[in-house]
């Protein structure tokens, strides 16, 4: 499979030349394959948000190279058009809604792309349906009249309407209740299936990672410390704990059991797998 984002020894420095200078990304190299679901994890301040802002040209490398969809982000002219192919959903995106109706807000991106009215309408309707909002009903409402969860989904629709090849989401489920979280992740999965898009998810929720991601990149203090499949990453429990990261709860339980000397698999991720392992243990003792 071909790469859609190639990062080569990327470094980034905040407030260069002032007493507040901080190296926030330190020589990161990472290849992101087209169509993959990648989760980026790391404790607060590890550089996750800074890294993804390099993917649509909001930030440019202080050193190193970032190529996205074949475009070098250091190229000022081409960088300006990156937003068309790379959608970035910020934390609490509902706070960026500004139009009088949900429709016009979701249409903001497509309109900036220079599409015709008919195309715009079609994109808006499709995006709203994708996030489970009624394109006719909700679209007429003011975004400020919706419930918190609906506002969040309307804001995400505003990015989905761009039909980006790469969709980046920075903690999209933070602050939602469990049902809202589940729904939102379902919508994102649906978008991915339909568009074949690459998904990059920045999150603190390890259960989300275990359930959804195909690859995981782990950041610590601006460095990329691990990259691989969720099972590989979460089997390196000691290293993760050392940089302040948790395992998904079921994996934590199974690890404790191993430490007690019980014969269980090392690569358990979900509650169903953990249940299976424990059932096997109990079954053996009961027989």
User: Which residues form the interface with another protein (CB under 8 A)?
Assistant: 14-15, 18, 20, 43-44, 53, 56, 58, 83-84, 86-88, 90-91, 93, 95-99, 108-109, 112-113, 144, 147-149, 158-159, 162, 174-180, 182, 204, 207, 244, 246, 248-250, 252-253, 256-257, 260, 262, 271-272, 274-275, 278-279, 281-282, 285
Nearer to another protein, 37 or 83 (CB): 83
Strand 3-14 and strand 198-202: pairing? unpaired
CB of 47 to another protein, least distance (A): 14
Angle at the Cα of 149 from the Cα atoms of 144 and 152, rounded to 5 degrees? 70
Nearer to another protein, 74 or 253 (CB): 253
Least distance (Å) between residue 78 CB and another protein: 15
How is residue 229 written in tokens? 């499949």
Q: How far apart are CA 41 and CA 248, in angstroms?
A: 12
Q: Give the residue with the Cβ less far from another protein, 144 or 232.
A: 144
When the beta carbons of 8 and 115 are compared against another protein, the nearer one is 115
CA distance 135 to 124: 8
**β-sheet bridge partners, residue 31:** 6
What is the Cβ-side half-sphere exposure of residue 223, based on CA atoms within 13 angstroms?
Answer: 4
What's the closest the beta carbon of residue 279 comes to another protein, in angstroms? 5
Indicate the residue among 180 and 228 with the shorter CB distance to another protein. Answer: 180
HSE at residue 190, side-chain half, CA atoms within 13 A, is 15
């Amino acid at each position: 499979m071909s790469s859609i984002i190639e990062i080569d020894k990327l470094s980034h420095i905040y407030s260069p030349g002032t007493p507040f200078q901080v190296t926030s990304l330190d020589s990161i190299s990472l290849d992101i394959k087209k169509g993959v679901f990648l989760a980026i994890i790391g404790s607060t301040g590890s550089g996750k948000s800074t890294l993804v802002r390099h993917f649509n040209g909001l930030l440019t490398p202080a050193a190193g190279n970032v190529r996205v969809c074949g475009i070098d982000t250091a190229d000022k002219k081409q960088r300006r058009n990156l937003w068309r192919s790379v959608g970035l959903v910020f934390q609490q995106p509902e706070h960026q809604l500004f139009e009088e109706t949900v429709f016009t807000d979701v249409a903001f991106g497509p309109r900036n792309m220079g599409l015709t009215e008919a195309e715009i309408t079609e994109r808006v309707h499709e995006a709203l349906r994708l996030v489970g909002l009624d394109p006719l009903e909700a679209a007429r409402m003011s975004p400020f009249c919706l419930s918190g969860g609906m506002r969040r989904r309307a804001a995400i629709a505003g990015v989905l309407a761009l039909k980006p090849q790469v969709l980046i989401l920075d903690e999209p489920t933070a602050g939602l209740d469990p049902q809202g979280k589940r729904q939102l992740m379902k919508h994102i999965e649906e978008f991915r299936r339909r568009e074949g898009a690459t998904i990059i998810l920045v999150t603190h929720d390890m259960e989300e990672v275990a359930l959804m991601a195909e690859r995981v990149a782990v950041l610590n203090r601006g460095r990329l410390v691990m990259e691989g499949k969720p099972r590989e990453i979460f089997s390196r429990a000691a290293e993760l704990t050392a940089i302040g990261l948790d395992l998904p709860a079921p994996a934590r339980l199974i690890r404790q059991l191993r430490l007690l000397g019980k014969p269980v698999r090392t690569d358990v991720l979900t509650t169903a797998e953990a249940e299976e392992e424990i059932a096997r243990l109990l079954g053996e003792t009961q027989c």
